[in-house]
A and B are shown apart, each in its own frame.
Chain A
Amino acid sequence: DQQVKQNSPSLSVQEGRISILNCDYTNSMFDYFLWYKKYPAEGPTFLISISSIKDKNEDGRFTVFLNKSAKHLSLHIVPSQPGDSAVYFCAASEYNFNKFYFGSGTKLNVKP
């Protein structure tokens, strides 16, 4: 049973607009969350993290929001650029555990 779900396999956005990628989880013990970007035939690149003691974390164009009561996190990319076109994975782990559970990924296409 998947503990981390990304229910949208794909998303298409116009350049300059906001991209919102969503992730849901079922395990209330998860306390640390990561987002990765992956290009074809390359390894995932770490983008941004958030701890459960926060509800928002920003890094440049990337912002992650965490809603613990809804067990939901989202990644906002503003403004979206064609180079952001990639597969995005969210991942979650429990306190003091190094094992992460990954979602199935969302393929983002940013159109020029």
Chain B
Amino acid sequence: DVKVTQSSRYLVKRTGEKVFLECVQDMDHENMFWYRQDPGLGLRLIYFSYDVKMKEKGDIPEGYSVSREKKERFSLILESASTNQTSMYLCASSLNSPRTQYFGPGTRLLVL
């Protein structure tokens, strides 16, 4: 079974703090993704990576950066957290074929 883990289930941070969200997958998947989920908006892609040290912007990259130093690990960084970044953050990974994405349990982030 594919396993995707995320470092925290719940986080509370202050405005202006730098926030790190970590994601690890154990199935040697080439691709990794970060999404945020907000009510009524579905899942929106922030960034994705198709190889180590490679990254591509998704639909809403502003205010975020990512790091992929090892194949199994993909980090999402909020450089200076703001209240509008309060959300559920979901990490996923996939092979190139089939393209099915497998998700971690999510991190619910509250920025005060």
Contacts and interface: CB of A to CB of B under 8 A. Distances in A.
Interface of A: 6, 9, 32, 34, 36, 41-46, 49, 89, 91, 93, 98-100, 102-105
A40 B58 CA distance: 24
A45 B106 CA distance: 12
B25 to A, nearest CB: 12
Size class of the contact patch on chain B: 20 to 34
Given A98-B99, A102-B42, A103-B42, A43 B94 contact: no
Given A9-B40, A34-B100, A49-B100, A99 B105 contact: no
Nearest to A4: B42
B41 interface: yes
B106 A42 contact: yes
A105 B42 contact: yes
B31 interface: yes
Contacts of A9: 40
Contacts of A43: 4, 90, 92, 103-106
